[in-house]
């Protein structure tokens, strides 16, 4: 029904920047919250940042001041601007969206995009 496609990951040096994008497509009636999550090797998938359809944002403490989440509702797309990257940011980054399809809201996940930060 719904597909989320991420892009923008890659290999960067510490202090560098990347911008991740995630576009939702398919049977979408509405989207409430969208967000970015990440999973580092040996760790659980944790929230990085979320944004509601009205623009309210949340950031995990470790990325505050460095990452910025934004969205383009007309394009059903969410972005994550990552600045001042650190080696500890290395992880597989996943996009998520709470999508209304019919009268049911479901959580959908992207396939993940790898971010690797070298020291």
Kindly report, residue by residue over 33-51, the tens digit of the pLDDT: 999 999 998 999 999 999 9
What are the φ and ψ backbone dihedral angles of 25, each rounded to 5 degrees?
-145, 160
Q: Tell whether the model's pLDDT for residue 81 goes beyond 80.
A: yes
* Stretch 11-23: mean pLDDT: 98
Which residue has better confidence, 100 or 63?
Answer: 63
Contact 38/20 with Cβ under 8 angstroms?
A: no
Instruction: Report the pLDDT value the prediction gives residue 1, as an integer from 0 to 100.
Output: 80
Tell me how long the chain is: 119
Q: Tell whether the model's pLDDT for residue 103 goes beyond 90.
A: no
Instruction: Report the pLDDT value the prediction gives residue 12, as an integer from 0 to 100.
Output: 98
């Amino acid at each position: 029904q719904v597909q989320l496609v991420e892009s923008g990951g890659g290999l960067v040096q510490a202090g560098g920047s990347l911008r991740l994008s995630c576009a939702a497509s398919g049977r979408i009636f509405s989207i409430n919250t969208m967000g970015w999550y990440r999973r580092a090797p040996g760790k659980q998938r944790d929230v990085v940042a979320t944004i509601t359809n009205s623009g309210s944002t949340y950031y995990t403490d470790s990325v505050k001041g460095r990452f910025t989440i934004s969205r383009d509702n007309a394009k059903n797309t969410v972005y994550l601007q990552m600045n001042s990257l650190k080696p500890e940011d290395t992880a597989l980054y996943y996009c998520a969206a709470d999508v209304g399809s019919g009268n049911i809201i479901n959580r959908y996940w992207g396939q993940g995009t790898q971010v690797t930060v070298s020291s």
